[in-house]
Amino acid sequence: MDGPETDAASTESAPQPGRFVFHDVGFHGDLYLLELVEVILSRCLLFVETGANVGSTVSYVAGKHPDLRCLSCEPDAAAFRHVIENTADSPNVKISNETSDSFLRNLLAEPDAREGDVLFWLDAHGYGFDWPLRDEVALITSRLARAYMLIDDFRVPGLDCFGYDRHEEQVCSLEFIESRLDDAHQYRVYYPAYTDRTSSHHPLRGWGLIEFGHTDELVLPAGLRRRIRRAR
């Protein structure tokens, strides 16, 4: 039997050794992505992550923004135990032991979640099962008037130096989710335009930012303007 199809820059979604390693910095330690996150969070009242694993990212955001409500979910029992321990000192964090589709449905039923801006970090795709990413995008864009959706492990068109997730027919990309974006909105899509690795502990991983419902565009610091490109 042939092995799984892979791509030079992709990562076949399967459990990886050391996936329970906690890092003090989130978002893979990518300094440009971290700077972009700060720009977005300055506009937001809520940070929502799907797929916490051991909590590196949600713990990082909560520590940097102690007054910001930070919510995440993790269905894997072993990872959930780690993330609870790793966020124990962050009272602004709440972790749910459930799948992301259930987590988001419950969250978006709350009136408070529909007030103000939200930054979503969508990271529940991997480890060999069917991804909820398409359903997550459909839920968010149909229930909210505006939001920022950062998608992790996303394929960056034209930049093969960025890794991305892939499992069978699922490729973590704009093409994979585009049909589930609600037609009620106009969308802006952003990708990295840099190729230098800034993380001390992780190779380059692709990401995409999809935002909707805002009359004004993001104003990026001068150092980021040439490192992030708007695709549409």
How far is it, in rounded angstroms, from Cα 80 to Cα 82? 5
Range 158-179 average pLDDT: 94
Range 10-26 average pLDDT: 68
What H or E segment, with its residue span, contains residue 64? Answer: helix 56-64
Of 84 and 11, the structure prediction assigns the larger pLDDT to 84
Q: How far is CA 10 from the centre of its chain?
A: 17
Residue 196, judged by CB atoms within 10 A of its CB (0-12, 13-18, 19+), counts as exposed
Q: How far is CA 68 from the centre of its chain?
A: 17
How many C-beta atoms surround the C-beta of residue 82 within 10 A? 20
Q: What is the mean pLDDT of the chain?
A: 90
Alpha-carbon separation of residue 12 from 32, 65, 122, 144 (angstroms): 25, 34, 18, 32
Of 161 and 18, the structure prediction assigns the larger pLDDT to 161
How far is it, in rounded angstroms, from Cα 36 to Cα 224? 8
pLDDT of residue 168: 82
How far is it, in rounded angstroms, from Cα 161 to Cα 82? 31
**Following CA atoms 63, 230, 150, 211 in sequence, which dihedral angle do they give, to the nearest 10 degrees?**
100
Name the band, by pLDDT with cuts 50, 70 and 90, for residue 14. very low
Task: Give yes or no for residue 4 having a pLDDT over 80.
Answer: no
pLDDT above 90: percentage of residues in the chain: 81
pLDDT of residue 130: 72
pLDDT of residue 55: 96
Task: Give yes or no for residue 198 having a pLDDT over 60.
Answer: yes
How far is it, in rounded angstroms, from Cα 74 to Cα 80? 6
Range 194-221 average pLDDT: 96
pLDDT of residue 169: 84
What H or E segment, with its residue span, contains residue 223? Answer: helix 222-225
Range 63-69 average pLDDT: 97
Range 29-53 average pLDDT: 96
Each residue of 113-146: pLDDT tens digit? 777 899 999 998 765 567 899 999 999 999 999 9
pLDDT of residue 71: 97
Q: What is the DSSP string of 39-52?
A: HHHTTEEEEEEE--
Nearest by Cα to 43 from 177, 215, 188: 215
Q: What's the alpha-carbon Rg for the chain, to the nearest Å?
A: 17
Roughly how many angstroms between the first and final C-alpha of the chain, as a whole number? 41
Which of 3.30.43.10, 3.30.470.20, 3.30.930.10, 3.40.50.150 would CATH assign to domain 25-230? 3.40.50.150
How far is it, in rounded angstroms, from Cα 97 to Cα 76? 8
Name the band, by pLDDT with cuts 50, 70 and 90, for residue 19. low
Task: Give yes or no for residue 6 having a pLDDT over 60.
Answer: no
Query: Considering the entire predicted model, what is its pTM?
Result: 0.91
